[in-house]
Amino acid sequence: MTKQHTQPVRLYLPGAILGYKRGLRNQYNHTSLIKIKGCDSKEDAQFYLGKRIAYITKSSKGGGKNGSKFRVNWGKVCRSHGSNGVVRCKFARDLDPQSIGGRVRVMLYPSRV
């Protein structure tokens, strides 16, 4: 038997933070807009409803779990936004304005299939 060299299974898709949900004269910091790679329509976005999202940041101090230098802000996909595959997400702690344009990981769990 030979050992196969395979890539590890990736359980997330990359996404980008577009900003906050907005009205004409106000913005709602508690709801973030996320563009998921490969999600290009409202029908595609239905698959991602309820999925978990991780926004990972580095810290100068060991502020993560078990002394790691990474912190994770977890969120959840609430609903779609528009018709181009953008989704609305709520995070445990609201995303700061510096995170706009940053990257998130859209986990492929929990599964509704």
pLDDT digits (tens, 9 = 90+) for 14-67: 999 999 999 999 999 999 999 999 999 999 999 999 999 999 999 887 777 788
Q: Which CATH architecture has domain 12-107?
A: Beta Barrel (2.40)
Provide the β-strand partners of residue 32: 20, 89
Looking at every residue in the chain, the average pLDDT score rounds to 93
Domain boundaries, the chain: 12-107
Closest CA to 101 of 45, 17, 25, 20: 17
Residue bearing the bigger pLDDT, 34 or 2: 34
Looking at this protein, which amino acid is placed at residue 53? I
Q: What is the pLDDT of residue 112?
A: 84
Query: What burial letters (b/e) apply to 53-82, b meaning 16+ CB within 10 Å?
Result: bebeeeeeeeeeeeeeeeeebebebeebbe
Q: What is the pLDDT of residue 10?
A: 85
Residue bearing the bigger pLDDT, 1 or 66: 66
What is the rounded CA–CA span in Å between residue 25 and residue 45? 27
What is the rounded CA–CA span in Å between residue 59 and residue 5? 34
Q: What is the pLDDT of residue 59?
A: 85
pLDDT(1) > 70: no
Residue bearing the bigger pLDDT, 5 or 13: 13
